[in-house]
């Protein structure tokens, strides 16, 4: 159903409902008149249904929140200019609310500049001769940014002339005529996301930097300057793997490329998971798609043929760290946010994506292994080791699955929700959340106040085990770990992860902090991609409630408590929440609803997982004590 057709049906339904409330015996046929037909202009439609254009909204705590999609939509246009050979530098300046993106491409044609940013399905990318391998093909992205911004400004410079236009919530407010200029050609976009739509939003530097790094990895030679810091790559996907690998590897990174395809891969010595980075026309396809499926299939087939042995696919791919980027003519994605490739062909009259990827890897990876027998030897050792470990675990895994069924996972430990992340992505799926709680009282409060459509609850029984230094065997032998793994559905990686947001919800006391640490250790040890891919969070709950007869304030810090006391006047009632179980379900709705505060768990780019775990969870107690003493904050 088209966007506008759907909107008309919604209005039709609402009008009928109102009429029936007035007269329940009135016939539906008589209530359907010309007055029921409504037409929304492009701005109203985007603002009414933003999820159709940018996925979920969010406040910036998640890397797929809408404010990052807005930024990406603008940068994508500048990247397309670079790909066309126009402009090698993009400058991005970002403050708390304002975003400025300046490129040095050809500039938007001045006569069509206003239309290009404010008329739906208007753009230069319909002409495949000019933009045949572009990401944005439907002329929607910049218009969505415009409509969802309280302030939007576009300036284009070309042929020694410039033109400026300004908008507010998509409405044109200022349109200047062309002027002579000595500025370098290109386009400059300034926007401020609408604070009413993106409530309490905050751009997180780590997420922006990850996005920009991906842009330069995929476009060697491109320079991006972000708030004065330069991002640049010479070796493409090889640099991507080098910068993201934080563990020892079995062999040096294999880097292969040709026209329209580039891959890089290696195997980790210690990881249990498979790690894939996939891209289409510069777009990070976090949900994969036809190209990633073909890549996995081709790796297995090529290695089996090379060694002439029918190795199990899971043994070949265990601990793999890899990346693939392809370019497709007029790609088809499965959503406006372009996270999963749906195209089956590379383009008109071209081979299928599957055939193209298979043929490239079959030829080039096979040639590489023949020319580098030392790499082939190490690779086969790794595969055989994985095979041995899998066979040793097979019996334990079978028993663990049977045990999970016997304890009725879905009734006793997990209160599930109705929507799950691993289905085709939508705004609702992106909001799917599981809260990992401690004890019956906390899980009871969250269970009673949650949104059953999108929020699930998993209840821990006591403190989990410190899993640092243990093998994957413990995941199956320990009941809590086994059931948690089953609830998340991550035994074989993140492809079937059931929730987009995995939220640790523990008390803000010493025991709660300890449980957080033990859970983070578990995920880092066995499922680090859950953290790398931005799925793990800590739930922030208020420490204090300050109220008088007229107003109630929930305070998350001591500073907020003091401000609330000053604002509410004489002798307000102050409550210190000691545990989640103390907060009534009615109050809990305020903390896990639209204003929920989540703190993402991130891995610093200068720290390896092994060194992180060794320091915080190892046997070096004196070193940790010294660290705590030196970094203790004393508030008077």
> Residue 14: is its pLDDT beyond 50?
no
Tell me: the pLDDT tens digits for 442-490?
788 888 999 999 999 999 888 899 999 888 889 988 988 999 998 999 9
> Residue 334: is its pLDDT beyond 70?
yes
Looking at 134-219, which runs of residues are DSSP E strands?
149-158, 161-168, 171-175, 179-180, 186-193
CB neighbour class for 153 (10 Å; exposed up to 12, middle 13-18, buried from 19) = buried
Q: What is the per-residue pLDDT for 130?
A: 46
> Residue 518: is its pLDDT beyond 60?
yes
Beta sheet of 536-540, edge-to-edge order? 414-415, 455-460, 433-438, 501-505, 536-540, 597-600
Query: What tokens does 471 get?
Result: 């093998």
Q: Decide if 138 contacts 219 (C-beta within 8 A).
A: no
Cα four-point dihedral sign 373, 378, 384, 390: negative
Q: Decide if 306 contacts 379 (C-beta within 8 A).
A: no
> Residue 17: is its pLDDT beyond 70?
no
Looking at 275-390, which runs of residues are DSSP E strands?
275-280, 283-284, 320-326
> Residue 124: is its pLDDT beyond 80?
no
Range in 122-126, 283-287, 358-362 the model is least confident about: 122-126
Q: What is the per-residue pLDDT for 368?
A: 98
d(CA 279, CA 397): 34
- Between 628 and 570, the more confident residue is 570
For all residues of the chain together, what is the average pLDDT? Answer: 85
Phi and psi, residue 526, nearest 5°: -115, -25
**Strand, coil or helix: 408:** coil
Query: What tokens does 217 get?
Result: 């990895």
Q: What is the mean pLDDT of residues 584-601?
A: 87
Q: What is the mean pLDDT of residues 525-529?
A: 90
Looking at 479-524, which runs of residues are DSSP E strands?
501-505
Alpha-carbon distance values, 400 to 405, 407, 409, 458, 466 (Å): 9, 11, 12, 18, 19
Query: DSSP letter at 33?
Result: S
Q: What is the mean pLDDT of residues 614-620?
A: 79
> Residue 162: is its pLDDT beyond 60?
yes
Q: What is the mean pLDDT of residues 579-601?
A: 85
Q: What is the per-residue pLDDT for 606?
A: 66
> Residue 635: is its pLDDT beyond 70?
no
Query: What tokens does 228 get?
Result: 């004065």
Q: What is the per-residue pLDDT for 176?
A: 94
Alpha-carbon distance values, 388 to 311, 384, 416, 422 (Å): 12, 6, 35, 30
Alpha-carbon distance values, 115 to 120, 122, 158, 572 (Å): 8, 7, 17, 55
CB neighbour class for 619 (10 Å; exposed up to 12, middle 13-18, buried from 19) = exposed
Q: What is the per-residue pLDDT for 309?
A: 97
> Residue 22: is its pLDDT beyond 50?
no
Q: What is the per-residue pLDDT for 286?
A: 83
Range in 249-253, 305-309, 592-596 the model is least confident about: 592-596
The position carrying tokens 């799926």 is 429
Q: Decide if 519 contacts 436 (C-beta within 8 A).
A: yes
Q: Decide if 186 contacts 104 (C-beta within 8 A).
A: yes
Q: What is the per-residue pLDDT for 11?
A: 36
Q: What is the per-residue pLDDT for 523?
A: 94
């Amino acid at each position: 159903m088209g966007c506008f057709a759907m909107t008309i049906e919604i209005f039709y339904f609402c009008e009928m409902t109102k009429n029936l409330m007035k007269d329940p015996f009135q016939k539906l046929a008589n209530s359907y008149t010309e007055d029921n037909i409504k037409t929304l202009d492009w701005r109203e439609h985007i603002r009414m249904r933003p999820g159709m254009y940018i996925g979920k909204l969010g406040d910036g705590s998640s890397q797929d929140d809408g404010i990052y999609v807005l930024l990406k939509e603008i940068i994508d246009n500048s990247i397309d200019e670079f790909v066309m050979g126009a402009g090698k530098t993009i400058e991005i300046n970002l403050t708390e609310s304002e975003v400025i993106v300046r490129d040095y491409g050809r500039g938007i044609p001045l006569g069509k500049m206003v239309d290009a940013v404010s008329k739906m399905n208007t753009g230069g990318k319909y002409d495949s001769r000019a933009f045949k391998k572009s990401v944005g093909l439907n002329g929607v992205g910049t218009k969505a940014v415009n409509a969802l911004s309280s302030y939007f400004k576009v300036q284009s410079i070309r042929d020694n002339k410039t033109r400026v236009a300004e908008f507010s919530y998509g409405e044109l407010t200022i349109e200047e005529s062309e002027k002579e200029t000595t500025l370098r050609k290109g386009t400059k976009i300034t926007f401020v996301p609408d604070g009413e739509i993106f409530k309490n939003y905050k751009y997180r530097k780590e997420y922006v930097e990850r996005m920009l790094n991906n842009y330069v990895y995929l476009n060697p030679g491109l320079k991006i300057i972000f708030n004065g810091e330069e991002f640049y790559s010479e070796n493409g996907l090889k640099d991507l793997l080098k910068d993201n690998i934080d563990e020892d590897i079995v062999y040096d990174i294999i880097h292969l490329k040709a026209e329209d395809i580039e891959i890089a891969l290696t195997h980790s010595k210690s990881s249990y998971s498979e790690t894939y980075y996939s891209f289409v026309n510069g777009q990070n396809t976090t949900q994969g798609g036809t190209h990633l499926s073909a890549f996995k299939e081709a790796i297995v087939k090529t290695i089996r043929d090379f060694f002439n042995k029918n190795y199990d696919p899971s043994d070949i791919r265990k601990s793999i760290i890899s990346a693939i980027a392809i370019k497709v003519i007029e790609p088809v994605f499965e959503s406006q946010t372009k996270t999963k490739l749906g195209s089956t062909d590379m383009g008109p009259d071209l081979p299928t994506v599957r055939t193209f990827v298979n043929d490239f890897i079959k030829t080039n990876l096979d040639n590489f292994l023949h020319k580098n027998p030392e790499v082939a030897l190490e690779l086969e050792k790794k595969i055989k080791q994985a095979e041995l470990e899998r066979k040793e675990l097979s019996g334990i895994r079978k028993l663990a699955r049977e045990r999970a069924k016997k304890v009725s996972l879905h009734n006793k430990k997990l209160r599930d929700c109705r929507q799950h992340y691993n289905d085709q992505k939508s705004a609702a799926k992106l909001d799917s959340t599981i809260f990992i709680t401690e004890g019956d009282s906390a899980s009871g409060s969250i269970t009673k106040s949650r949104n059953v459509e999108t929020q699930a609850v998993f209840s821990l029984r006591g403190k989990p085990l410190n899993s640092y230094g243990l093998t994957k065997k413990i995941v199956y032998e320990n009941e809590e770990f086994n059931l948690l793994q089953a609830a998340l559905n991550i035994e074989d990686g993140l492809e079937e992860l059931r929730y987009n947001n995995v939220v640790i919800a523990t008390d803000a006391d010493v025991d709660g902090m300890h449980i957080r640490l033990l859970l983070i250790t578990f995920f880092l040890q066995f499922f680090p991609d859950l953290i790398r891919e931005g799925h793990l969070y800590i739930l922030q709950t208020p420490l204090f409630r300050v109220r008088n007869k007229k107003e109630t304030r929930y305070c998350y810090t001591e500073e907020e408590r003091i401000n609330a006391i000053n604002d509410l006047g004489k002798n307000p009632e102050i409550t210190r929440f000691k545990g989640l179980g103390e907060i009534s379900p009615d109050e809990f709705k305020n903390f896990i609803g639209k204003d929920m505060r989540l703190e993402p768990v991130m891995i610093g780019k200068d720290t390896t997982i092994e060194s992180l775990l060794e320091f915080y969870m190892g046997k070096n107690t004196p070193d940790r004590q010294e660290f705590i003493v030196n970094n203790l904050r004393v508030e008077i």
